[in-house]
A and B are shown apart, each in its own frame.
Chain A
Amino acid sequence: MTTPPSDQRPARSDRSPWNWLLLVPIVIPLTTVLYNAQEPRLFGFPLFYWLQLAFIVLGVTATTVVYQVGRKRSGR
């Protein structure tokens, strides 16, 4: 092993309270009671279909925020 001892490197971590945000796009799309209905419709799509498509935005937002916050914290 040629790795320098870990104490020589700046302490790093991927811990952040912002990580909890990632739970939102995991829990909500799996909560079927939220969307298992026909009404209200949007552009002819039953709720079941358009709302689940809309959840994509949740996922993108949460991962983007966690990524950007992490970048600022590590000072880059």
Chain B
Amino acid sequence: MSDHITEIVVFTFLFVLVSGMGFVASRWRRADLASLDEWGLGGRKFGSWITWFLIGGDLYTAYTFVAVPALLFGAGAMGFFALPYTIVVYPLVFLVLIRLWSVAHVHGMVTPADFVRARFGSPTLALLIAITGLVATMPYIALQLIGIEAVLKTMGVTGDLPLIIAFAILAAYTYQSGLRAPALIAFVKDSLIYVVILVAIIYIPARLGGWEAIFGAAEKKFAETPAPGDGILLNANNQLQYITLALGSALALFLYPHSVTGVLAARDRDVVKRNMSALPAYSLLLGLIALLGYMAIAAGIKPITTDGKADANTVVPLLFDQMFPDWFAGVTYAAIGIGALVPAAIMSIAAANLFTRNIYREYLKRDATPAQEARVSKITSLVVKVGAVLVILLIDPQFSIDLQLIGGVVILQTLPAVALGLYTRWFHRYGLIAGWAAGMTAGMVMLYNISNPAINHAHFGGSAFPLAKLGLDTGMTIYAGFLALLVNLVVAALVTLAARAAKAADGVDGTRPADYFADENDPRTKPVELSGTH
């Protein structure tokens, strides 16, 4: 541990500094935090810059920065899907998100399930959307801890206590400051990450003999491994997986409740639009970070093994440890550690809002005041974080990674109701419920049937579903979530037609066409009345 004393001091200093900022954030643009609009959405007043840092800090998490290079380190080109994924996502959601912003602004909606509730007049469908969001978000929060854990491990800090302390601090300032805390901290986090990466991509290749040598070393490594799927280029069998995984992940990204939280906190439509052009700056960063995986190969990094299992997530921290002087390695660790705090805070706020708005207010206390809503959300955000810590401490971390993988497939099943719902009211609520159920089932069955000998999994071994299992004579794989979404859409359409033919009662649409184009100064209605049958 003493070898790392400088790193630990720098790390701790920066960590304490941003924690202080987290507490001070409650006074930033001072407002009465006793309402969800203020505590959970920062007053819906964030301008372009704050939104850019907030959404950037929200989507490009510490886990991404650790796991994507780890993927390239282990499998090569396939791991680079993260780049096209984050390029495609912004043009894909550009028009969709401004509609969501507008309708949420008019009706005071806080969560995606709020929208579904109003649009389709179906509390049951809204509950399904809310639960899906919660299930997908929880393991994501736990994963952020893995980012911190990887850094602590590399610094030789063992034991659970540091992790618990870090999360306790996070929980405390999120409780106090709400969304203002991650918004303020995101400035520091992203600035640190930009500095670290700029230094890394100039300094490390120079020490390793240039990019040519780095790619050469990666190519040599993959040529020597027996695995057929790896390499620095794609092969005939994993191209479809690359495409569908990138597209499927892009479709899923803004269905996650925490992404929606970041968007709804924007001040007006222009802020959202401008960010769709500006957020790709982070994609450049991500593409370069991904290549750290190859640099680790060229530098001959061997991941830390605990209990006989190599932890690939440690390759990036180890690379920094080997390449940089101690003080700068400390800065890079702080960047990763703080990088975990921002998304973890936003995710727990989003999960708390889902519980408050779509379970507490819908089923437990219909006449809840804004102050009661804010209080319930604050407490839920604490519960969510305790849950995440327990998951990491008590269960094999691999389980969180598996769960997060499932989370992506699961959240995609809300696309017909949330994303298509913003455009069309054609689907019948029964159709959407049936499609959701069919997509979920199909997704789970597929994931269950994916094995991965490399991590000793007979089931839930990844998201690449072999088409051969459907009886097709091919070695190709496809992203399970994508296939599940197709099943979902087909069933939703068929049941809609059947429900219309049977003249089944449809829910009442609480929104008007003009709501989807409303802007900052347009009149807002009271929150949508809770009507409709279960």
Chain A interface residues (CB < 8 Å from chain B): 1-4, 6, 9, 12-14, 19, 22-26, 29-30, 32, 36-38, 41, 43-46, 48-49, 52-53, 55-56, 58-60, 62-64, 66-67, 70-71
Contacts and interface: CB of A to CB of B under 8 A. Distances in A.
A36 B240 CA distance: 12
A26 B80 contact: no
Contacts of A49: 80, 215, 287, 291
A56 B283 contact: yes
Given A25-B87, A48-B232, A56-B284, 7 more contacts: A22-B94, A25-B88, A30-B84, A30-B246, A43-B211, A53-B288, A63-B276
16 contacts: A2-B525, A3-B525, A6-B514, A13-B517, A25-B88, A29-B88, A30-B247, A37-B233, A41-B212, A46-B233, A48-B80, A52-B80, A53-B284, A56-B283, A59-B87, A70-B273
B483 interface: no
B91 A12 contact: no
Contacts of B516: 14
B106 A32 contact: no
Interface string B192-223: 00000000000000000011111100000000
Nearest to A57: B280
Contact of A22 (B95, B233, B288): B95
Nearest to B243: A30
Contacts of B529: 1
Interface string B68-96: 00000000010010011001101110110
Contact of B273 (A9, A37, A53, A67): A67
B98 interface: yes
Contacts of B232: 38, 46, 48
A51 B517 CA distance: 36
Tell me whether chain B's interface is mostly helix, strand or loop, or mixed: helix
Contacts of A3: 106, 512, 515, 523, 525
B242 interface: yes
A36 B234 contact: yes
A44 B83 contact: no
Contacts of B280: 56, 59-60
B87 A55 contact: yes
B211 A45 contact: yes
B91 A26 contact: yes
A75 to B, nearest CB: 13
Interface string B179-191: 0000000000000
B84 A1 contact: no
Which 7 A-B pairs rank lowest in CB-CB distance, beginning with the nearest? A44-B211, A44-B212, A12-B517, A6-B514, A22-B91, A29-B84, A63-B277
A52 B514 contact: no
Nearest to A42: B211
Nearest to A31: B243
A25 B517 contact: no
Given A3-B525, A36-B234, A36-B239, A63 B77 contact: no
A67 B273 CA distance: 6
Contacts of A53: 83, 284, 287-288
B523 A6 contact: no
Contacts of B210: 44
Contacts of A64: 277
Interface in B86-114: 87-88, 90-92, 94-95, 98-99, 106
B309 interface: no
Given A30-B243, A52-B80, A53-B284, A2 B94 contact: no
B90 A59 contact: yes
Max chain A C-beta neighbours (<10 A), residue from B91, B95, B214, B514: B91
B30 interface: no
B512 A6 contact: yes
A42 to B, nearest CB: 9
A37 to B, nearest CB: 7
A56 to B, nearest CB: 5
A70 B269 CA distance: 12
Contact of B99 (A14, A32, A59): A14
B274 interface: yes
Contacts of A46: 215, 232-233
Nearest to A62: B91
Interface in B265-306: 270, 273-274, 276-277, 280, 283-284, 287-288, 291
Contacts of A38: 232-233
Contact of A45 (B91, B215, B277): B215
A2 B246 CA distance: 43
A52 B83 contact: yes
Contacts of A56: 87, 280, 283-284, 287
Contacts of B270: 71
Given A12-B514, A29-B246, A46-B215, A66 B94 contact: yes
B513 interface: yes
A69 to B, nearest CB: 11
A10 to B, nearest CB: 9
Contact of A2 (B276, B288, B512, B523): B523
B526 interface: yes
Given A12-B517, A22-B94, A32 B234 contact: yes
A4 B106 CA distance: 12
A19 B239 contact: no
Contacts of A55: 84, 87
A59 B283 CA distance: 10
Contacts of B291: 49
